[in-house]
């Protein structure tokens, strides 16, 4: 039996009715990993034996249980920035090549309690810094739709593993689009929750004020099921919030008739591939046909989001990565003095992109430049938040492209960091404002997926998911899958 196209709900029903076992499903997904990984390279660590043992344990529980937990027997991969007790966790950096954390991230604990089966840790840009997955300290991941193209970043391994049927769900992190952009490139659903909706405890931090954990799945309903499990306050994370998440299974099936959807004109300017724009606008027309009330809106300050992000983000990176000094944990090149130990460890074991952002962040925080750069960026960030707040008094949701292009070829932008940074032009404003947003597939160009981004008010993931579900059910883009050999 082919399990790879069954949803979470269908797998749970099959388990309940004893149609198949967790062992069988787990074995099928592990077989896919073994088959596709030589060409795809989506994983950094595959936990085959642990997954098999977990499956046996769950099958034993299945014999004596009438009610299954919400993710019972669901095969899941984890972006390798989520710490896992006793399991290699690298953040795709040579500096953490052999690091085995002594504890689990809160999200990992919640998924485990919900019955998930972890298949392994997925590749990403080093310390989540990148938009293509080419900045991994180990090797680039390939796009399952076209192996000569990137899967997006930084959660590219997660997106590729879901699209290639190597797992049913993957958990990624999103700082400036790192869930949504690879979801767009790989033709899957990627959800970035409101900042504070999901605990970040155990997430190897890139930019603490912008990072958020979220799911990548093959359907909107599956994304809702996973969010229902991982959302909620956490005593270990002071930034997590206690806002109540409604029953998403009920919420996403409600009518979208009358929902007001804004289309920001600033997201459809120069730099957007015309063919991508056509597919996105066609999808927005479909939202209108489904009963949504579509109107044009303006967000004039979002044009400053990229420069703002690339001041605020490196500033926090320079602070967060100071702990990787060759003394506390991770790789180390011990030398005759402290300064040489620092320089050899960080110089040898950190990649060029990480070093670039540390240097940039240190510069904008330094004396004489703090007021000129960082302080101004904070003010612009507040203005962007204010504009979103005002626009959401007029509309319920926003619809935009997720990325200005489809997936580009491997190596084509490595010599131009600015071109790479502009890949996040439509996703970065969402992180600055702390909003929930989702990308879902709305078409293909030359065999490569195109994504639509839906953005909601803070704590209104249910509306984002509801509109996405309505669109998904009216098309078949989410059912397409790459032909891997």
User: For residue 221, which of 179, 245, 251 has the smallest C-alpha distance?
Assistant: 251
Range of the domain at 202: 8-253+437-479
Q: Is 369 exposed, middle or buried (0-12, 13-18, 19+ CB in 10 A)?
A: middle
Non-local CB neighbours of 464 within 8 Å, separated by 6+ positions: 191, 397, 436, 437, 438, 454, 455, 456
pLDDT at residue number 416: 78
pLDDT at residue number 1: 81
In a domain, 406, yes or no: no
pLDDT at residue number 336: 83
pLDDT at residue number 340: 86
pLDDT at residue number 430: 98
In a domain, 136, yes or no: yes
Residues of the chain with pLDDT under 70: none
Segment 195-230, tens digit of pLDDT: 999 999 999 999 999 999 999 999 999 999 999 999
Number of separate domains in the chain: 1
Question: Which of these is catalytic: 178, 219, 313, 318?
Answer: 178
In a domain, 69, yes or no: yes
In a domain, 423, yes or no: no
- This prediction's pTM: 0.96
154 is catalytic: yes
Q: CA 198: distance to chain centroid?
A: 13
Question: Which of these is catalytic: 21, 136, 154, 158?
Answer: 154
250 is catalytic: no
pLDDT at residue number 420: 79
Read off the CATH number of the domain in which 239 is found: 3.90.1300.10
178 is catalytic: yes
d(CA 211, CA 437): 13
pLDDT at residue number 337: 85
Q: Are 211 and 241 in contact (CB under 8 A)?
A: no
In a domain, 107, yes or no: yes
Question: Which of these is catalytic: 4, 21, 79, 93?
Answer: 79
In a domain, 459, yes or no: yes
């Amino acid at each position: 039996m082919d399990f790879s196209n069954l949803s979470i709900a269908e797998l749970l029903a099959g388990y309940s009715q004893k149609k198949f076992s967790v062992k069988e499903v787990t074995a099928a997904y592990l077989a896919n990993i073994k088959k596709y990984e030589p060409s795809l390279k989506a994983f950094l660590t595959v936990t085959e034996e642990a997954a098999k043992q977990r499956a046996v344990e769950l099958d034993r529980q299945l014999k004596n249980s009438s009610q299954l937990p919400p993710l019972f027997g669901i095969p899941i991969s984890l972006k390798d920035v989520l710490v896992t007790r006793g399991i290699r966790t690298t953040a795709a950096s040579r500096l953490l090549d052999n690091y085995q954390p002594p504890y689990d991230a809160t999200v990992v604990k919640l998924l485990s309690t919900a019955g998930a089966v972890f298949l392994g840790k997925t590749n990403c840009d080093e310390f989540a810094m990148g938009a293509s997955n080419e900045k991994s300290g180990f090797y680039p991941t390939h796009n399952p739709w076209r192996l000569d193209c990137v899967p997006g970043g930084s959660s590219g391994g997660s997106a590729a593993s879901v699209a290639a049927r190597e797992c049913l769900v993957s958990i990624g992190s999103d700082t400036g689009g790192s869930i949504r952009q690879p979801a767009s490139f790989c033709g899957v659903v990627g959800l970035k929750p409101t900042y504070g909706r999901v605990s970040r405890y155990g997430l190897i931090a890139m930019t603490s004020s912008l990072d958020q954990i979220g799911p990548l799945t093959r359907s909107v309903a599956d994304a809702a099921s996973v969010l229902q499990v991982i959302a909620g306050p956490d005593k270990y994370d002071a930034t997590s919030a206690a806002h109540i998440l409604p029953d998403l299974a009920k919420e996403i099936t409600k009518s979208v008739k009358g929902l007001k959807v804004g289309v920001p004109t600033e997201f459809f300017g120069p730099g957007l591939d015309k063919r991508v724009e056509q597919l996105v606008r066609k999808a927005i027309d479909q939202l209108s046909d489904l009963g949504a009330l579509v109107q044009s809106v303006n967000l004039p300050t979002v044009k400053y989001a990229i420069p703002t992000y690339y001041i605020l983000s490196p500033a926090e990176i320079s602070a967060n990565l100071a702990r990787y000094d060759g003394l506390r944990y991770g790789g180390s090149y011990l030398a005759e003095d402290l300064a040489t130990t620092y320089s050899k460890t960080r110089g040898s074991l950190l990649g060029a992109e990480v070093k670039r952002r540390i240097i940039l962040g240190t510069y904008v925080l330094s004396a004489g430049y703090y007021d000129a750069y960082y302080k101004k960026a904070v003010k612009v960030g507040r203005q962007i938040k204010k504009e979103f707040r005002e626009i959401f008094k007029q509309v319920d949701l926003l619809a935009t492209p997720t990325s200005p292009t489809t997936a580009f070829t491997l190596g084509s932008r490595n010599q131009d960091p600015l071109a790479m940074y502009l890949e996040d032009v439509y996703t970065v404003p969402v992180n600055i404002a702390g909003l929930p947003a989702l990308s879902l597939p709305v078409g293909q160009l030359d065999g490569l997926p195109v994504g639509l981004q839906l953005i909601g008010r803070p704590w209104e993931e249910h509306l984002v998911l509801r509109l996405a579900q309505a669109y998904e059910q009216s098309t078949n883009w989410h059912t397409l899958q790459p032909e891997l050999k």
